[in-house]
Amino acid sequence: MPRKSQREEDATLTEDYKSSQKKKYMTPSNMRLASHNKTRVAYFHDEGVGNYHYGERHPMKPHRLTLTNHLVLNYGLHKKMEIFQPRRATDNEILEFHAPDYVDFLKRVTPDNAEEFEQVFQRFNVGDDCPIFDGIYDFCQRYAGASIEASRKLIAGGADICINWSGGLHHAKKSEASGFCFVNDIVLGTLELLRYFPRVLYVDIDIHHGDGVQEAFYSTDRVMTVSFHKYNGDFFPGTGHLDEIGTSLGKYYSLNVPLRDGIDDDAYIWLFKEVMDGVMATYQPSAIVLQCGADSLGCDRLGCFNLSIEAHGRCVQIMKDYKIPMMVVGGGGYTVRNVARCWTYETSILVDQELSNDLPPNEYIDFFKPDYQLHPHLSGRVENQNDRQYLLKVRERAMEQLRYLDAAPSIQMQEIPPDIQGFLDGEDELQDDEDDSNFGMDRRPPAYTKNRLVPEAEWYEDDDDNDGETGASDMEL
């Protein structure tokens, strides 16, 4: 073979050096994103998911998903994403977390035969908050299937971020409905992620505590749950105290950030960034599930914070900037026009697309009058009770808990972590109590009970309080 010229040899050496350097920095956490200059986003939406109806006076309106999707399409955001029509979750997939008798109940009960099942309503926590409506199980299959498919897309490396705004129903328990939630799609999606990713971080910015997800993974270190929410002991669901830190292998892997009424943009973003920087540096997750409940916005029907849509979206930007595979889901949000605006704006953040503040013409434009703006004024409605001293105290407690974490815990790979609902038996519980005395956090979380706590802001003052949801013209703050 002819000898290479000096220039060719130099080029070969340069390329070899570049290749070796590339391999050096291709760690498991960044190799999934390194070959793409732009974030690859997959958007999961079932066109029928917005057609279900909880009831005339019920605050949960699945129609908000239809409004969101119309804004996403009319802003042209679909051109920046892969769009998928997800399949429905199968019975077996839902049974990966939920109890067989509960799933059987959801499959069989209808408004027409509800009287036949009244004897189990209390057992499954069905009633005013979680009513029986037409197509209830089909609705659950649709939104849960989207989260499961989104998880599998991340596992396959087909996207860096997957969006399912119909998901995020974080209150549902293994054997009961709770807080408008019947099937916990977040737990089902996270169980899928655990088949491949060693550690999954769950982050919740809904105004209500993510109790169903926390309870499901309370005793494992493979999922860390972080929830920012209102807490005063009475506000639904009544959980989410600083001292709820996990148990067994999951001890210190549940982190709660309780907030008071009226928190504003600057305080919320500061605290969120401080806590999440600490969590990411310590836990080093392989994948993230972000629940973007929009009831933490100002002027929400059931909320009491002062967050703007821009600040809510800033939390999404912060999590996106960590460049970890991420599934983004919806959640709460009961002033539907603001929910649609918020999730549309956050979709634009995820696809790196700036949007005009003037909403585009669409079939539901009358829902957004009188301003027809993407960013209406939502702050200042509630007095801010989160003073600087309180925020510093919450941050200090969060940082203190993170110091007790085993950074990036090692795992024995399993398809699904066994018995995620299990709690310690006698000897282990005694050992936990001894360990707690060293940490100063020996208070156990409140027992999860089938008796629903009545939140102070969960329902309405009178029959007229929810007027106008069915007609756009009457929808005032």
Binding positions are: 129, 179, 206, 208, 295, 334
177 with 124: CB under 8 angstroms? yes
What is the rounded distance in angstroms from the CA atom of residue 38 to the CA atom of residue 191? Answer: 28
Q: Give all strands (DSSP E) within 160-222, no chain letters.
A: 161-164, 200-204
Which DSSP string do the residues of 105-145 spell out, in sequence order? HHHH--TTTGGGGGGGTTTTT-SSSS---TTHHHHHHHHHH
Question: Per the annotation, where are the binding residues for a divalent metal cation?
Answer: 206, 208, 295
Catalytic residue among 171, 209, 229, 312: 171
Residue 248's identity, in one-letter code, is S
Q: Are 272 and 391 in contact (CB under 8 A)?
A: no
- CA 254, chain centre distance (Å): 15
- Which contiguous run of DSSP H or E holds residue 256? strand 254-259
* Whole-number Cα distances in Å, 18 to 10, 25, 35, 37, 81: 12, 11, 14, 18, 31
Smallest Cα–Cα separation from 137: which of 171, 165, 163, 111? 111
Within a 10 A sphere around the Cβ of 465, how many other Cβ atoms? 12
Cβ contact 183:256 at 8 Å: no
Q: Is the dihedral of CA 114, 118, 120, 126 positive or negative?
A: positive
Query: How many angstroms separate the Cα of 463 from the Cα of each of 76, 179, 454, 460?
Result: 39, 20, 18, 7
57, 460 contact by CB (below 8 A): yes
Is residue 171 part of the annotated active site? The answer reads yes
Half-sphere exposure of 359 (CA within 13 A, CB side): 28
Catalytic positions, written as ranges: 171
